[in-house]
């Protein structure tokens, strides 16, 4: 299934669509001819992105302001995903967050919000989308995960655990729906320049420039891996190597590598 074939289906819903990887997906899909439904918390910024894409490409862009860490926000997007009058052929679950503090200094409220957005919302929206998709025997879900989900690369942070769930969940569900003509793929980028870290006060000054990916390149890699039929997409060769190491290195070596970072929280990919 090629990106050109995908484009003929015409309608995609993207969460977290006002910045970073979500906005890059919106730009790319609009350029490829898709009608878009964009979801984010910030209604003003959402309207600005939609107006820009409409002006550039002439396609109608719906906006749906929603906080996906809440039941009401998820329910609003679920209703749109199950609207048979304007079916969604591609869902990009991009919205997510990390906490700029280790678990021992966190709160139940903050950790619950992280899980509700990174895990609970992904589960709910994927389930809502897959019902109509499997009925039509056509559709794709891309769940944005992270290289961080393959190992304890951020000591003290619960973000990698949430992304490990997203990757495993996506791979498992894909096995069940692929015979029905539907795809689910986990997109696992590494450090991506999205503005997320600056907005959340995360100091990235010690991260070498060569480790950073461009959001547009991440999207290109995701669509390329989708064409190849992959269940898990890890854009860029250096992060493919990192994932291989995290998957196969003895946990004892990982503990040694990270023991001097005990209690610190690393960055997210945004």
Starting at the edge strand found earlier in the chain, the sheet holding 90-93 runs 61-65, 35-40, 11-15, 90-93, 139-144, 182-187, 232-233
Res 255: pLDDT = 58
Q: Are 30 and 59 in contact (CB under 8 A)?
A: yes
Tell me: pLDDT of 33 over 80: yes
CATH of the domain at 84: 3.40.50.720
Could you tell me if residue 268 is inside a domain?
no
Tell me: pLDDT of 32 over 50: yes
258 an active-site residue? no
Most confident of 8-12, 73-77, 201-205, 212-216: 73-77
Could you tell me if residue 266 is inside a domain?
no
The CA distance from 196 to 14, in Å, is: 17
Could you tell me if residue 77 is inside a domain?
yes
Q: Are 46 and 38 in contact (CB under 8 A)?
A: yes
Q: Residue 18: CB partners within 8 Å, gap ≥ 6? A: 38, 40, 42, 45, 46, 48, 49
Among candidate residues 159, 191, 196, 239, the one labeled active-site is 159
What total number of domains does the chain contain?
A: 1
Res 202: pLDDT = 53
Q: Are strands 182-187 and 192-193 parallel, antiparallel or unpaired?
A: unpaired
| Banded pLDDT at 262 (limits 50, 70, 90) | very low
The CA distance from 200 to 40, in Å, is: 17
Could you tell me if residue 175 is inside a domain?
yes
First to last CA, the chain: 28
Domain that includes residue 190, residue range = 3-261
Tell me: pLDDT of 7 over 50: no
Res 208: pLDDT = 55
Percent of the chain with pLDDT over 70: 80
Q: Mean of the pLDDT values across residues 69-91?
A: 98
Tell me: pLDDT of 140 over 80: yes
Tell me: pLDDT of 90 over 70: yes
Encode pLDDT of 176-211 as tens digits.
Answer: 999 999 999 999 998 776 665 555 555 455 555 656
Could you tell me if residue 168 is inside a domain?
yes
Tell me: pLDDT of 263 over 90: no
Q: Mean of the pLDDT values across residues 55-79?
A: 95
Q: Mean of the pLDDT values across residues 67-88?
A: 98
Q: Mean of the pLDDT values across residues 240-249?
A: 74
């Amino acid at each position: 299934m090629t990106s050109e074939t995908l484009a003929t289906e015409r309608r995609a819903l993207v969460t977290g669509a006002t910045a970073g990887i979500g906005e890059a997906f919106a730009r790319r899909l609009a350029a490829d001819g898709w009608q878009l439904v964009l979801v984010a918390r910030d209604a003003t910024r959402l309207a600005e992105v939609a107006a820009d894409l409409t002006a550039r490409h002439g396609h109608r862009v719906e906006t749906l302001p929603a906080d996906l860490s809440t039941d009401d926000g998820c329910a609003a997007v679920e209703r749109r995903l199950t609207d048979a009058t304007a079916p969604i052929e591609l869902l990009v679950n991009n919205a997510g967050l990390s906490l700029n503090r280790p678990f021992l200094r966190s709160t139940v409220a903050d950790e619950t919000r992280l899980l509700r957005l990174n895990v609970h919302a992904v589960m709910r929206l994927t389930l809502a989308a897959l019902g109509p998709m499997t009925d039509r025997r056509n559709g794709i879900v891309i769940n944005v995960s992270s290289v961080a989900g393959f190992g304890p690369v951020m000591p003290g942070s619960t973000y990698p655990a949430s992304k490990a769930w997203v990757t495993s969940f996506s791979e498992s569900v894909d096995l069940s729906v692929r015979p029905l003509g539907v795809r689910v793929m986990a997109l696992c980028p590494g450090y991506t320049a999205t503005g997320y870290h600056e907005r959340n006060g995360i100091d990235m000054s010690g991260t070498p420039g060569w480790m950073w990916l461009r959001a547009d390149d991440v999207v290109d890699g995701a669509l390329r891996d989708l064409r190849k039929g992959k269940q898990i997409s890890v854009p860029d060769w250096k992060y493919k190597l990192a994932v291989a190491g995290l998957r196969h290195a003895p946990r004892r070596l990982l503990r040694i590598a990270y023991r001097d970072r005990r209690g610190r929280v690393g960055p997210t990919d945004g």
